Amino acid sequence: MQPLLQIQDLNLTVDGKPLVTDLSFSIAAGERLGLIGESGSGKSLTAMAATGLLPRAITATGAVTLGGQQVIGAPERVLNGLRGTVAAFVFQEPLTALDPLLRVAQQVAEPLRRRARRDGHELAGSALQREVLALLEQVALPQPERIARSYPNEISGGQRQRVAIAMALACQPQLLIADEPTTALDVTTQAEILKLLDGLVRERGMALLFISHDLPVVAEIVERVVVMQRGVAVETGPVREVFGAPQHDYTRALVVAAKAFDGALEGTA
């Protein structure tokens, strides 16, 4: 079976300067993959390249196949068909991902309407309203009626991220791409959102591309990881193997640092 997302020999450059070099990996349907790296590693750019969202100034070569469709060089019309249907995004900062001037209900309604149109029927009025509330319930938002009426600034950061997740789910994508989805959140909220994402991905059999700099967070939610350093994948493998016995010096340094803070918490450092 063809993987859902296949990236082969991807090279990204800006003015001839390499940003991502000879990157290859794939995600099968229902698989959960973590892309780990520090700032400047190219992990977010890779996710943008996967859905054809790269800024114009960046040149991409190689092959990116999403849902059987070549993404690099594809016209916007084709890419728009893939977005939402095949893959949907959840970003780091839910405050900027949401439109501050629209009530939550209006924002969540938009992708729902789009999906209905894609499936060949129109969704409006009270039927649409019901679907919005059902979706808000699925992301475990308390008092969905109240949240639906609220503007983004009237709800908490964790609630905003739940709304953003609801919008991504509205299109029933096969692949959810989450780019540092818990980095801007408090630690207790982060734990809740990770649990929610984990449950939703499992329930729906979605594939997950989880991008993060935070090793323990990644370890909680994915099966396999790709470690990136300055645009190059330095190590790939099952998360327990890579974190348990890292082969590359860079991975080893990251694991040692992460374990040092863990050790401090356990009182062993």
CB-nearer residue toward another protein: 73 or 216: 216
Smallest distance from another protein to CB 235, Å:
15
Indicate whether 186 belongs to the interface with another protein (CB under 8 A).
yes
Please pick, from the candidates 124, 149, 244, 249, the single residue that binds another protein as defined by CB under 8 A: 244
Cα 147 to the center of its chain, rounded Å: 23
Closest CA to 231 of 216, 254, 250: 250
DSSP strand pairing (32-37 vs 224-229): parallel
The b/e string for 36-70 (b: 16+ C-beta within 10 A; e otherwise) is bbeeebbbbbbbbbbbbebeeeeebebebbbbeee
β strands within 38-196, DSSP E: 58-66, 69-70, 87-90, 175-179
Indicate whether 50 belongs to the interface with another protein (CB under 8 A).
no
Q: Take residue 201 and report the two structure tokens written for it.
A: 């991905």
Number of residues that bind another protein (CB under 8 A): 35
Indicate whether 157 belongs to the interface with another protein (CB under 8 A).
yes
Q: Which residues lie below 8 Å from residue 120, measured CB to CB, with a gap of 6+?
A: none
Q: With CB under 8 A as the contact rule, which of the stretches 42-50, 55-63, 172-180, 188-196 interacts with another protein? A: 188-196
Indicate whether 38 belongs to the interface with another protein (CB under 8 A).
yes
d(CA 235, CA 237): 7
Q: With CB under 8 A as the contact rule, which of the stretches 85-93, 94-102, 173-181, 240-248 interacts with another protein? A: 240-248
Smallest distance from another protein to CB 246, Å:
11
Binding site for another protein (CB under 8 A): 38-39, 157, 186-191, 194, 213-217, 219-220, 239-240, 243-244, 253-255, 257-262, 264-267, 269
